[in-house]
Amino acid sequence: MCGIVAYIGDQEAYPILIKGLKRLEYRGYDSAGVALMDNGELQLYKCKGRVADLEAHINGADVRGTIGIGHTRWATHGEPNDVNAHPQSSGSGDLVMIHNGIIENYATLKEELINRGHTFVSDTDTEVLIQLIEDIRQHEEVDLFEAVRIALNEVVGAYAIVILSRKDPDIMIGAKKSSPLTIGVGNNNEYFMASDATPIIEYTKNVVYLEDGEIAMVDRTAGLMIRNIENQEKTPYIQELEMQLENLEKGGYEHFMLKEIFEQPRSILDCMRGRLSVEKGKVVLGGIKDYEQKMVNAKRIIIVACGTSWHAGLVGEYLFEDLARIPVEVEYASEFRYRNPIIDEDDIVLAISQSGETADTLAAIELAKSKGATIIGICNVVGSTIARTTHAGSYTHAGPEIGVASTKAFTAQVTVLALMAMAIGKRKGTIPESAFHLLLTELTSIPDKVESVLKRDAQIKYIADIYKDAPNALYLGRGYSFPVALEGALKLKEISYIHAEGYPAAEMKHGPIALIDEEMPVFVIATKGPSYEKVVSNIQEVKARKGKIIAVVTEGDIVVKDIADHVIEIPDTDDKLMPLLSVIPFQLISYHIAVMLKRNVDQPRNLAKSVTVE
Ligand code: F6R
């Protein structure tokens, strides 16, 4: 969490920083700040609120400087207020720093610094680190780079930091451990540092992804130098970005979330592009080619993920068990990492993450790796930490997802999981040739079918209007639709703040049925498939208690239409691929309800897109 951006070059830094912070605001938006240096003078502006509040706060000031840093915060230590906003300054005011991450041993370090006479103004762990750096520089009489290096050797925790110094006005220092830091290499000794490439893409496509334990120093004349915290020099490895600038704009939509929902026909297609051939009856996932045999031989697959990605993982469990006959366990990464799990070299761990930066998923990967398991990643952000940490993997190619609520990433993750399970099942011989061919053909029809679900938007908006004031909602599904029920409930609660629960439809009678009365909207996936009749019975149970049923059904269904209060018809498809269609109405319902309730759809309260703290 937290977004950081920094610039050094010939241009005025302020507009670059503000634009960059707006792109990074999905990472946190409790407070924001910038520091710029002009002729050895540091100007610092920061305040509680969003980047727009910062702009209003700065309004009219003569902000200058061709070197600067900016931060948008998701609070960890200390409430969101002006003082705790970043940049944080050292005691003398000579140093300023922006930070994404958590310094876990900050309390011990702070106590030592207080004993040495330092005083603190904020509650942040960041202020402790910048004071520590200043303390080392003063007492050990070393230069700034060395002071940073020594300080980072004392730090336990996660950080991506950038530091400016009044005494070194032509130098910018960045460092990373567990939180991401991308360096943009522009023309004429112009450099950028940022939490991801979105603030950089406009100026250069050449980037260096800093590795854990590396410190980068940019000098206006000498350029970029990288050393690790053991002080060994590293050669910067410059890569070219694949990202397109237009994908970072709203493109005429009112919100990123709506744009991303409507992008799904294309993002699913992009995800499949070049990976399947119906004519040749083949699925090829280049990224995992060398590990396919290992997956075929796997005794077990463990899927680790969080949130929406975890829901996609549940669909993956059904797919791998159905198609490849491999037992699968789906784990919340945060639980897995702390419960001494039994893992060995024969296990395949599938890590699913849109951002590729989620701290818990990353820690789960490290744990599984240390026990010898093979780690396969399914990530959206190219070059992200998880993508680089896994042994192999497949990108989802959904394009940048900016709305905090995940939508197109989910459908792309499910598409990759379907492709993987099919590829492994075919190689293992657990899918009959004819079934493989049918499923492959069906998969290619999904983008058009998603398009036709999106055409129901007006009807879905109408339903949203009826239920927007409900204080609670229940989502029910069975089999492949159960993870979709969980995902529907998550979407509703995270952006509309309405309490919602997802349940396997049959579990309802073991407790949640007590909640049902005439006020309770119950969203049910009742598409044609193996458990259709059972779900119809569950719907009857809700209706018998006067609950309101909003059912997602297969086009042409007449049975549920008769019982339900509303039906949303979606095209028929193979049950295994149904989550790719049935999730769309739930994404749209949540979106419309949130807009009607005047919520901040793209940046819901308390959340951040990239959860880089545990
Ligand atoms: C929900 C949502 C979160 C993420 C979760 C994992 O809409 O976006 O639940 O799915 O934080 O994030 P990634 O996939 O980036 O690891």
The C-alpha atoms of residue 440 and residue 432 are separated, in whole angstroms, by 12
Which among 273, 295, 294 has a CA at the least distance from the CA of 284? 273
Can 299 be counted among the known catalytic residues?
Answer: no
Helix (H) or strand (E) holding 107: helix 106-115
CA of 390 to the centre of ligand 1 (A): 18
Question: According to the model, what pLDDT value does residue 382 have?
Answer: 82
Question: According to the model, what pLDDT value does residue 478 have?
Answer: 96
Question: According to the model, what pLDDT value does residue 252 have?
Answer: 83
- Can you tell me the mean pLDDT for 475-491? 97
DSSP state letters, 79-98: -SSTTTSSSEE-TTSSEEEE
The C-alpha atoms of residue 312 and residue 489 are separated, in whole angstroms, by 14
Predicted confidence (pLDDT) at residue 614 exceeds the cutoff of 80: no
Output the six-digit token pair for 28: 């946190």
Question: According to the model, what pLDDT value does residue 568 have?
Answer: 98
The C-alpha atoms of residue 108 and residue 111 are separated, in whole angstroms, by 5
Query: Ligand 1 test: best mutation among 195, 330, 353, 354, most atoms within 8 Å of CB?
Result: 354
Classified as helix, coil or strand, 254 is coil
- Can you tell me the mean pLDDT for 238-247? 83
Output the six-digit token pair for 257: 């979330």
* Of the listed ranges 186-190, 432-436, 457-461, 486-490, the one predicted with least confidence: 186-190
Question: According to the model, what pLDDT value does residue 339 have?
Answer: 87
**Residue list, ligand 1 pocket, CB within 6 Å:** 306-309, 353-355, 358, 361, 405-406, 490, 494, 611
**Residue nearest to ligand 1 atom 4, measured at CA:** 307
Predicted confidence (pLDDT) at residue 1 exceeds the cutoff of 80: no
Give me the chain's average pLDDT, please.
94
Which CA distances in Å does 197 have to 271, 351, 394, 502, 610?
21, 22, 20, 35, 14
Which ranges in 273-384 belong to alpha helices (H)?
292-297, 307-319, 333-336, 359-370
CA of 52 to the centre of ligand 1 (A): 25
CA of 485 to the centre of ligand 1 (A): 16
Q: How confident is the model at residue 232 (pLDDT cuts 50, 70, 90)?
A: very high
Residue 26: phi, psi to the nearest 5?
Answer: -60, -20
CA atoms within 13 A on the CB side of 563: 23
- Can you tell me the mean pLDDT for 404-427? 97
Q: How confident is the model at residue 287 (pLDDT cuts 50, 70, 90)?
A: very high
Query: Ligand 1 test: best mutation among 308, 591, 612, most atoms within 8 Å of CB?
Result: 308
- Can you tell me the mean pLDDT for 461-469? 98
The C-alpha atoms of residue 35 and residue 46 are separated, in whole angstroms, by 8
The amino acid present at 595, given as its one-letter code, is V
Can 598 be counted among the known catalytic residues?
Answer: no
Nearby residues of 158 by Cβ (< 8 Å), 6 or more positions away? 101, 102, 177, 178, 179, 359, 612, 613
CA of 108 to the centre of ligand 1 (A): 32
Nearest atom (ligand 1) to Cα of 404 = 8
Burial of residue 514 (number of CB atoms within 10 Å: 0-12, 13-18, 19+): exposed
- Tokens 């960890």 label which residue? 76
For the sheet with 566-570, list strands across it: 499-504, 472-477, 521-526, 548-554, 566-570
**Residue nearest to ligand 1 atom 9, measured at CA:** 307
Nearest atom (ligand 1) to Cα of 611 = 11
Report percent pLDDT > 90 for the chain: 85
* Of the listed ranges 77-86, 244-253, 274-283, 388-397, the one predicted with least confidence: 244-253
Predicted confidence (pLDDT) at residue 76 exceeds the cutoff of 80: no
Which among 358, 71, 65 has a CA at the least distance from the CA of 193? 71
Question: According to the model, what pLDDT value does residue 248 have?
Answer: 79
The C-alpha atoms of residue 162 and residue 194 are separated, in whole angstroms, by 9
Q: Is the peptide bond before 87 cis (omega within 30 degrees of 0)?
A: yes
Tens digits of residue pLDDT in 289-329: 999 999 999 999 999 999 999 999 999 999 999 999 999 99
The amino acid present at 335, given as its one-letter code, is E
**Strand 31-38 vs strand 67-73: parallel, antiparallel, or unpaired?**
antiparallel
Q: How confident is the model at residue 384 (pLDDT cuts 50, 70, 90)?
A: confident
Residue 427: phi, psi to the nearest 5?
Answer: -65, -35
CA atoms within 13 A on the CB side of 574: 18
The shares of helix, strand and coil residues in the chain, as percent rounded to the nearest 5, are 40, 25, 35
Nearby residues of 495 by Cβ (< 8 Å), 6 or more positions away? 257, 404, 405, 590, 591, 594, 599, 601, 604
DSSP state letters, 527-587: -SSTTHHHHHHHHHHHHHTT-EEEEEEETT--HHHHH-SEEEEE----GGGTHHHHHHHHH
Burial of residue 448 (number of CB atoms within 10 Å: 0-12, 13-18, 19+): exposed
Question: According to the model, what pLDDT value does residue 95 have?
Answer: 98
Question: According to the model, what pLDDT value does residue 303 have?
Answer: 98
Q: How confident is the model at residue 247 (pLDDT cuts 50, 70, 90)?
A: confident
The size of the chain, in residues, is 614
The DSSP bridge partners found for residue 379 are 353, 395
Nearby residues of 504 by Cβ (< 8 Å), 6 or more positions away? 476, 477, 478, 482, 485
Query: Ligand 1 test: best mutation among 355, 401, 602, most atoms within 8 Å of CB?
Result: 355
Output the six-digit token pair for 500: 């919602």
Question: According to the model, what pLDDT value does residue 100 have?
Answer: 93
Which among 494, 469, 500, 285 has a CA at the least distance from the CA of 407? 494
Tens digits of residue pLDDT in 371-382: 999 999 999 988
Instruction: Point out the catalytic residue in the list 2, 271, 306, 379.
Output: 2
Output the six-digit token pair for 264: 């799904």
The C-alpha atoms of residue 567 and residue 35 are separated, in whole angstroms, by 54
For the sheet with 233-234, list strands across it: 88-89, 95-103, 157-165, 168-177, 214-219, 223-228, 233-234
Tens digits of residue pLDDT in 548-573: 999 999 999 999 999 999 999 999 99
The C-alpha atoms of residue 532 and residue 560 are separated, in whole angstroms, by 10
Do residues 417 and 315 lie in contact, with contact meaning Cβ atoms separated by under 8 Å?
Answer: yes
Nearby residues of 511 by Cβ (< 8 Å), 6 or more positions away? none
